[in-house]
Chains A and B, each alone.
Chain A
Amino acid sequence: MKNTRIRVLVAKPGLDGHDRGAKVIARALRDAGMEVIYTGLRQTPEQIVETAIQEDVNVIGLSILSGAHMYLFPKIMELLTEKEATDIVVIAGGIIPTEDIMELKKIGIKEIFTPGTDTNKIVKFIKENVKIA
């Protein structure tokens, strides 16, 4: 018999201390039957990638409101490539201007969820984009 469970890492990269969104989403994902690894504030790209690999997550959800995303996200994508872990779906949310969204999608962030996004939309996106072997 096989089991399917989706594992998601919800991460707060950098110094941003606003975790309301991350926590609300973590709960919503749990309510949708997923296992959510939440690692708290002030995560470095190295910590995030290492955690994602050890926990064998299907998705990394990055939450950032400090404007530092154009430095931190590319770093994270670089490390994932280095560790040959690009099969992990990376999504993000927070304060991210539209013009940056294009750039971020180019480096491999699958989707950016801006303020006001319904959590059901995020759950649906994850379910549709994660391939359970």
Chain B
Amino acid sequence: MNLSSRVRQGDTRAVAKLITMVENDFQHAQKILQELQQYCGKAIVIGITGPPGSGKSTITDRLTKHVRKMGKKVGIIAIDPSSPFTGGAILGDRIRMQDLATDKEVFIRSIGTRGHLGGLSRSTQAIVKIMEAMGKDIIFIETVGVGQSEIEVIKVSDIILLVVMPGMGDDIQVIKAGIMEIGDIFVVNKADRDGADKLITEIEMMIHLNDDGVRSPSIIKTIGTENIGIDPLWKEIERLIIYLQNSGQMYQRRKNRIRKEIYDLFQENWQEMFFQFIGEENLEKEVEKVIKQDNDPYSVVQKLTEIFKEKIFKGGI
């Protein structure tokens, strides 16, 4: 049985190996992803983001257990920041989800933000595809909502949960700065703490200011560690999905997702090809020229693009 068949059978090892291939050798993985494309599109992809410590992993764990009771199969992609210096990472989200490790219908994969040739989004898109092909009904993408690549990757989802908690202080500014516009549901976790109601008021004000008539995020209170608020949260998610599907917005979102996927792939493939064609030595020569003020980067790219185009027309690529 080949790899793609084994993936569709739900063979954990095969799935895991394919994911590794996506991260380490995308060109090779791409061929298999092509075979799997037809089995995709049925899963709901839910992004879960928010500042560190807000309880995302706990909420992911609880939601998963909740939908498991309904017989749904779940995939979880847990994204943690890699060290900008060493490229290494400590991927610790699983700590809060380890009950699920022995549930046969739950597949959890931890990834770091770095070292993804082609970017985190491309890898994540591919992993979503693999999880869909293996039969998952719900896929959670969990990531900290700071940093450009993390904000980008969360757009791979159909709907986005923003998990916040009282007492965050300046973190509310962080939320405003990037992910506010894309949150569909605000989860006010640790809602038993002081400041919960104040936070809800702040969020309501922010929503009001940003209201474009199309999106109107809802706010749900939870206490993840005590399993409180999970049922209402899931009901809200279901309600939102039905609403989006009926209003045609889900279709539009999915189209945007595909557009983004194609764009990302295109960008990466051409970027890789381009620089492969140039070769490291030649690139180095051009860089030396620029640093000696012998040339500028714009001219370099122009020149190389012309050579590249010529080569293509001559059929040399």
Taking CB atoms, residues of chain B closer than 8 Å to A36 are 88-91
Residues of A within 8 A of B94 (CB): 37-40, 51
**B278 proximal to A (CB < 8 A):** no
Task: Decide if B301 is an interface residue (CB 8 Å cutoff).
Answer: no
Report the minimum CB–CB distance from B17 to chain A (whole Å): 6
Cα A23 to Cα B125 in complex, Å, equals: 31
Q: Please report the total number of B residues contacting A with Cβ < 8 Å.
A: 35
Indicate whether A62 reaches chain B with its CB closer than 8 angstroms.
no
Contact of B13 among A7, A43, A85 (CB under 8 A): A85
Give the Cβ gap from A119 to chain B, nearest Cβ, in Å.
Answer: 13
- In the assembled complex, the Cα of A34 lies from the Cα of B27 at a distance in Å of 23
Q: Verify B91–A46 contact, CB threshold 8 A.
A: no
Stretch at the interface among A52-60, A67-75, A104-112: A52-60
From B88, B102, B116, contact of A33 by CB (8 A): B88
A4 contacts B by Cβ under 8 Å: yes
A36–B91 alpha-carbon span in the complex (Å): 6
Q: Fill in one digit per residue for B81-124: 1 if any A CB lies within 8 Å of its CB, else 0.
A: 01100111111101100100110000111101001110000000
For residue B5, which residues in chain A have a CB less than 8 angstroms away from its CB? none
Asked if B282 lies at the interface with its beta carbon under 8 angstroms from chain A, I say: no
Query: Is residue A29 contacting chain B, with contact meaning CB distance below 8 A?
Result: yes
Contacts of A44 in B (CB 8 A): 102
Chain A 54-96 near chain B by CB (<8 Å), digits 1 or 0: 1110000000000000000000000000011100000000000
Q: A interface vs B, CB < 8 Å?
A: 1-5, 7, 26-27, 29-40, 43-44, 46-47, 50-51, 53-56, 83-85
